[in-house]
Structure 1
């Protein structure tokens, strides 16, 4: 098994953490097994397999019981295309999978780092290369240079729904989440900035 790393690049003590839970954090799987799981769910939905779930239960697996949530996974609806997905996180590791309900597309991404910001970037890149329908519709923005004295006025800690986000200006302006995850921010004007991962900021 690979060594897990914290968001600041330090190896997890003992290479990976062992959890007592038998289901949540105690469930380990490799990307190949997860990919086989996704494929079999997709085949079950078409009535071509029942290795994991039969067709009726596979239908329940991808039918929302609450907005965006089905039995055991989440549902993303973009226009007429639906995807089922779930993420995972143990200390030093992050992962996510996506499977399309109608088209047979899917991906499993696993990182041996707490810094999971690459997960979406990788998934979006896969969807572009393999031409997935309605998975990723990028917003194109332009960055501008902003004088340092104006950048400095943005420095500080911000409370957003009980979470502290920090902005520091040292060369590249950075957004710091939980005091250990660093994300570059870009200014579209002297009054507006954006962060490609946190689009709501």
Structure 2
């Protein structure tokens, strides 16, 4: 297959310092062009690494809109958006378009949760019912008389069910958190209960993350959105991050893999901590940079080194990766990267960051197709020569 290389022109560029767009150096422009023309899957048919063009792959995969932020040397080197926030409305995506972060919401939730630990309001190793006031977890026989801790909740080692949530159409009746946890109408998910004893294995549970959301609000005495804005978003200058949106905002509409739009444009997720964050790649990149710097003791905008390190300390293994507190340490060919990906109705996203070298990437799309976002991550890793990230495997 002959690959046509196309030089793409940026819709807009917003730099990490929050100032208006500035002229990029020729070197960075060249890197952007290379990223746009170096997409590749990790498993390759044949014996040659392809270099696909981003616009061609968007068309091939039926992806309407993509937004990217690239971190290099602990700064956001560039950000760029492609395609449409809503194709039918002819609304182009730009770097300020809000996408659903889906399960990346969990990693941001853990940052706020550990802030309560730093404040001395929560002990990660105490029974969660110590902190739950408006609802108590109903222990049953499957828990084997073991307590569930907040450390278990944040690391998916609590032995709980309900891996994910489908969201709600915008015209639907929206359940409250207790109704979600008990699986009571109008909740459309099952009750969050034990499926095995806690502390022995990894079982991905968005339900467990929702319990952490209730602990946060019960313990802080504040609304979830209010707490996260004051303790996380404001210190990190995540000015485009929120849990409630409306049609006056620059929000993306979700699309399925066949290119059809989600009914009502997008679903609502009252499970804020697990799946409800709306944000941009730049805002998530700010979070990632803060993690990188705090791990080195060079910043403490939200958490000092001690607590950020605890957040990144593995609790349980999952395949070749390790699971910390709201953070996956993803094993890539001999090197660990910190990571969280996500998928909601009509949205997918990915984030990868180096633990000690100050680089990373965030990709957000308004499509259920995951292939493109992963190919973009590979392209960034190729162009920026990330350590062992892109090591393709060949199949005949």
Question: Out of 4, 11, 14, which is 2:264 matched to?
Answer: 14
Q: Is the 8 A contact 1:94 1:113 kept in 2?
A: yes
Q: Is the 8 A contact 1:41 1:52 kept in 2?
A: no
Higher strand share: 1
Question: Out of 39, 42, 53, which is 2:303 matched to?
Answer: 53
Q: Please list the CA deviations of residues 87-139 of structure 1 after superposition, one character each: whole Å capped at 9, or x if unmatched.
A: 11221100011111011111000010011111211111110100000112112
Structure possessing the higher relative contact order (Cα contacts under 8 Å, 6 or more residues apart):
2
Q: Does 1:138 align with 2:388?
A: no
Structure 1 partner of 2:274? 24
Aligned residues: 142
Question: Out of 287, 291, 303, which is 1:37 matched to?
Answer: 287
Q: Is the 8 A contact 1:82 1:102 kept in 2?
A: no
Structure 1 residue 80: Cα displacement: 5.5
Mapped to 2, the partners of 1:62 and 1:100 lie a distance apart of 13
Structure 2 partner of 1:83? 337
Q: Is the 8 A contact 2:290 2:299 kept in 1?
A: yes
Q: Is the 8 A contact 1:81 1:102 kept in 2?
A: no
Q: Is the 8 A contact 2:333 2:391 kept in 1?
A: no
Mapped to 2, the partners of 1:132 and 1:117 lie a distance apart of 20
Structure 2 partner of 1:124? 378
Question: Out of 307, 312, 330, which is 1:62 matched to?
Answer: 312
Mapped to 2, the partners of 1:79 and 1:112 lie a distance apart of 29
Q: Is the 8 A contact 2:333 2:389 kept in 1?
A: no
- What RMSD in Å do the two structures reach over aligned CA positions? 1.5
Mapped to 1, the partners of 2:355 and 2:254 lie a distance apart of 32
Q: Per the alignment, in what secondary structure is the counterpart of residue 140 of structure 1? A: strand
Mapped to 1, the partners of 2:294 and 2:313 lie a distance apart of 14
Structure 2 partner of 1:114? 368
TM-score (norm 2): 0.35
Structure 2 partner of 1:96? 350
Mapped to 1, the partners of 2:270 and 2:330 lie a distance apart of 31
Q: Is the 8 A contact 1:37 1:52 kept in 2?
A: no
Q: Per the alignment, in what secondary structure is the counterpart of residue 300 of structure 2? A: coil
Distance 1:124 1:79, change over 3 A: closer
Structure 1 residue 82: Cα displacement: 2.1
